[in-house]
Amino acid sequence: MTLNLILLFVLLLTVIWTVMTIRLVHAVVGLAVTSAILAAIMYRLGSPLAAVFELSVCSGLISVIFITTVSFTQRLSKERLLIRRRERLLRFLYLPLIIIVVGILLVKYLRIPQFNLPYFTGPEDPRSVLWNLRHLDLLGQAVILIAGVFGVVVFFKEDNK
């Protein structure tokens, strides 16, 4: 429990850093670290397969795609970087304060009632869930991939011609 809380706190810190940082590469690294911590939390909560997906896809593959894209951009000059950093700091100055105040209020006043939560009775094997229970969603997954391909073709390939 204590380790879970520590992981959640670190997760919060990495999320804030991802949003606040001025450099895109730093934001991508922050996102990858966030996903890795999330994967650890998922593993500890008893979802090893979800953790593997989170680690390989969100922390790995997506970070690679982001960094590839960022490598096509130009680095900001030092002067612009300073201006942007100042602007960003001013914009998010109150964010840590808001988080601390909300956290204190939640700890002090939020009383989570006892719930009579139902026990999941379906198949526990993820393969069985995917292929026998959620096969319509798998079809959806295929369609959304095709939509993504058309997105890439429409945005990038047409111009090349």
Partner 1 sequence: MLALFILIPFILLLILNLPFPFVNAEVAFWLSAFLFLMQIVLAFVHPWLAWSNYTLPLGQFSKFKLVLDPLTLVMLFTIGLVVLISLLVAKCTITTEKRKFHFINLLLISLVGMNATVLVSDLFSLYVFVEIAAVAVFVLMAIEKSRFAIEGTFKYLMLSIIASIFMLTGLAFFILACGEVTFAGIHNVFLSGTNLVLLNFAVGVFLCGLFIKCGAVPFHGWVPDAYSEAQSAVSVLLAGIATKITGVYVLMRLFTSVFIVKASLQNALMLVGLLSIVFAALAALKQDNIKRMLSYSSISQVGYIVLAVGCATPLALLGAVLHFFNHAVSKSLLFVNTAAMEKKFGSTDISIITGMGNQLPVTNNTLLIGLLSTAGIPPLLGFWSKLIIILALFQAQRFTYGAIALLASVITLGYFLFMERNVFFIKTETSADKSGVPFTIKFCEVLLAGIVIAAGLTLPFILNSQIFYFKGFSN
- Interaction of residue 123 with partner 1, rule CB under 8 A: no
Binds partner 1 by CB under 8 A, chosen from 116, 124, 127, 160: 116
- Min separation Cβ 85 and partner 1, Å: 24
Neighbours of 19 (CB within 10 A): 13
* Contacts (CB under 8 A) with partner 1, residues 1-30: none
User: Residue 77 Cβ, how far from partner 1 at the closest point, in Å?
Assistant: 25
- How many residues in the chain? 161
Minimum distance between the CB of residue 59 and partner 1, rounded to whole angstroms? 19
- Residue 29 DSSP SS3: helix
Ranges within 74-113 binding partner 1 (CB under 8 A):
113
Cα gap 25→75, rounded to integer Å: 10
Piece of the chain touching partner 1 by CB under 8 A; list 9-17, 50-58, 88-96, 131-139: 131-139
State the minimum distance, in angstroms, from the CB of residue 134 to partner 1: 8
CA 81 from chain center: how many Å?
25
Interface residue with partner 1, options 44, 85, 88, 134 (CB under 8 A): 134
Smallest CA-to-CA distance from 96 within 32, 13, 21, 6 is with 13
**DSSP-assigned letters across all residues of 98-146:** HHHHHHHHHHHH--PPP--PPPP-S---HHHIIIIISHHHHHHHHHHHH
Judged by the rule CB under 8 A, the positions of this chain that interact with partner 1 are 113, 115-122, 131-132, 134-137, 139-141, 143-144, 146-148, 150-151, 153-155, 158-159, 161
